[in-house]
């Protein structure tokens, strides 16, 4: 008599039917990783290498500029000195500068040069010390010539003269203003 094949006893905790041994994992549903960060990093490295090589070898590759035999028009005319200015309405422009300062016990005398390049300038001056908010107005000067602010400066003209401000010795901001008192430009006068 033949015996029936061996069968393990029935286990009620196991599911019926053939068993799948591939459990589902969460990473199976993740999108594929992007190559973009690697490509951007590689591009940045290539750009950095190109910049370094260009900076290193540019003088060997590019010829040095040869000096020209004839002067250029910009080099023949000297640029006027001073700080450029434009009035608030844009009708007048020029340059101005402090050429000299003299301090004494009563204040400071400032020698100012104003040159108008376009328009006609009606102007005034005011100042303030950099550690106070009090506005200082010009007083009669000791030095000659005193800056004449009553007459306008026409286009192409220049005027130079002294302006006196009664103040203690401290850095001062000198303001070029319209005759109505609107600020045009400012310069620092050192103590």
Name the residue among 144, 89, 74 with its Cα closest to residue 120: 89
pLDDT in tens, 29-88: 788 888 888 888 898 999 888 888 777 776 665 555 555 554 444 444 455 688 899 999
Task: Confirm whether 102 is domain-assigned.
Answer: yes
Are the C-beta atoms of residues 94 and 121 closer than 8 Å to each other? yes
pLDDT at position 134: 83
CA distances from 125 to 75, 94, 136, 161, 186 (A): 34, 16, 9, 12, 10
Q: Give the residue numbers spanning the domain of 96.
A: 81-189
Residue with the bigger pLDDT between 180 and 29: it is 180
What CATH number corresponds to the domain at position 116? Answer: 2.60.40.1240
Q: What is the mean pLDDT of the segment spanning 153-179?
A: 91
Domain for residue 103, yes or no?
yes
More confident residue, 22 or 67: 22
For 94-142, write each residue's pLDDT tens digit: 999 999 999 999 999 999 999 999 999 999 999 988 887 788 899 998 8
In a domain, 137, yes or no: yes
116: in domain: yes
Candidates 74, 82, 92, 105; CA nearest to 174 is 82
Number of domains in the chain: 1
Show the tokens assigned to 162: 């002294």
Residue 39 lies in a domain: no
At 25 the pLDDT is: 79
Q: Is residue 99 part of a domain?
A: yes
188 alpha-carbon distance from chain centroid: 20
Return d(Cα 19, Cα 123) in angstroms, integer.
100
- Does a structural domain hold residue 62? no
**Integer Cα distance of 15 and 151 in angstroms:** 110
Residue 139 lies in a domain: yes
Compute the distance between CA of residue 177 and CA of residue 122 in angstroms, rounded to an integer.
Answer: 9
């Amino acid at each position: 008599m033949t015996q029936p094949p061996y069968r393990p006893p029935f286990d009620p905790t196991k599911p019926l039917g053939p068993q799948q041994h591939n459990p589902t994992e969460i990473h199976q549903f993740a999108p594929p990783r992007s190559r973009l960060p690697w490509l951007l990093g590689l591009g940045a490295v290539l750009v950095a290498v190109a910049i370094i090589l260009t900076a290193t070898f540019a003088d060997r590759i590019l010829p040095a500029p040869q000096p020209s035999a004839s002067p250029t028009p910009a080099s023949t005319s000297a640029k006027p000195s001073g700080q450029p200015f434009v009035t608030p309405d844009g009708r007048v422009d020029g340059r101005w500068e402090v050429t000299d300062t003299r301090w004494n016990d009563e204040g400071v005398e400032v020698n100012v040069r104003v040159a108008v390049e376009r328009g006609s300038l009606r102007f005034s001056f005011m100042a303030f010390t950099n550690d106070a908010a009090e506005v200082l107005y010009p007083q009669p000067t000791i030095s000659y010539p005193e800056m004449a602010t009553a007459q306008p400066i026409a286009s192409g003209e220049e005027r130079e003269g002294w302006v006196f401000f009664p103040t203690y010795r401290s850095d001062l901001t000198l303001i070029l203003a319209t005759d109505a008192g609107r600020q045009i430009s400012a310069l620092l006068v050192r103590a």
